[in-house]
């Protein structure tokens, strides 16, 4: 009975386990160039998105941080940036950007305030690079925050910086009238 069982189950073995194959980048004598992998066809676009806008996807242009937004910023973008900032950034940086978030109050290292001169004068690409790649004890948020949301957060940070250092002269005259100011 055991012999009959072994004969029946031996028919279930598939030869796919022994199929010829090559490991990635393993040499091969089959092709003239000696490679088992074939070169990509001309004008092949990577799977996913074509990231041909260096400023948009890296925050840099020719190796230098950009100082202009690489896409138009609207009021909706700033609102989206505030929403994303409150979710991802405020826990460390605080809601107003002074570096006094909840985790800092619990004993973790304090991030710099966005309102110091060094960061007020920092190019926009610096913030994009830090959010994308991390810096110091801040981890990278590239996997959690899409590129467009990173730029929206940076727009909101700039709005925060302006709000904390604004003077009455920065308020438009029609808004000053509503405030009861000349």
Mean pLDDT throughout 61-65?
A: 93
Q: Is the pLDDT of residue 67 over 90?
A: yes
Locate the domains of the chain by residue range: 72-165
pLDDT of 182 > 70? The answer is: no
Report pLDDT for 138: 93
pLDDT at position 15 is 65
* pLDDT score recorded for residue 61: 94
Question: What does the pLDDT average to over 63-82?
Answer: 96
Q: Which residues are registered as beta bridge partners of 35?
A: 27
Note the pLDDT of residue 38: 83
* C-alpha dihedral sign at 120, 121, 123, 126: negative
Most confident of 34-38, 43-47, 74-78, 174-178: 74-78
Interval 112-167: pLDDT, tens: 999 999 999 999 999 999 999 999 999 999 999 999 999 999 999 999 999 888 88
Query: Options 1.10.760.10, 1.10.10.60, 3.40.50.300, 1.10.1840.10; which CATH number does 72-165 get?
Result: 1.10.760.10
Q: Say what the pLDDT of residue 176 is.
A: 79
Whether the Cβ atoms of residue 37 and residue 21 lie closer than 8 Å to each other: no
Q: What is the pLDDT of residues 2-46, one digit of tens each?
A: 887 777 666 666 666 677 778 888 898 888 888 888 888 888 877
Residue keyed to tokens 């393993």 = 26
Cβ atoms of residues 165 and 157 within 8 Å? no
């Amino acid at each position: 009975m055991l012999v009959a069982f072994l004969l029946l189950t031996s028919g279930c073995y598939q030869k796919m386990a022994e199929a010829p194959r090559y490991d990635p980048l393993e040499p091969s004598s089959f092709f003239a160039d000696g490679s088992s992998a074939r070169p990509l066809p001309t004008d092949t676009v990577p799977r996913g998105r074509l990231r041909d806008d260096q400023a948009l996807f890296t925050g840099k242009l020719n190796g230098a941080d950009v100082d202009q937004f690489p896409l138009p910023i609207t009021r909706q973008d700033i609102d989206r940036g505030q929403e994303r900032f409150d979710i991802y950034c405020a826990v460390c940086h605080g809601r107003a950007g002074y570096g006094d978030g909840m985790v800092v109050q619990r004993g973790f290292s304090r991030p710099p305030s966005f309102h110091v001169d060094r960061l007020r004068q920092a190019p926009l690409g610096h913030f994009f690079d830090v959010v994308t790649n991390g810096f110091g004890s801040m981890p990278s948020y590239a996997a959690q925050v899409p590129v467009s949301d990173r730029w929206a957060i940076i727009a909101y940070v700039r709005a925060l910086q302006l709000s904390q250092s604004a003077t009455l002269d920065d308020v438009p005259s029609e808004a000053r009238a509503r405030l009861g100011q000349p």
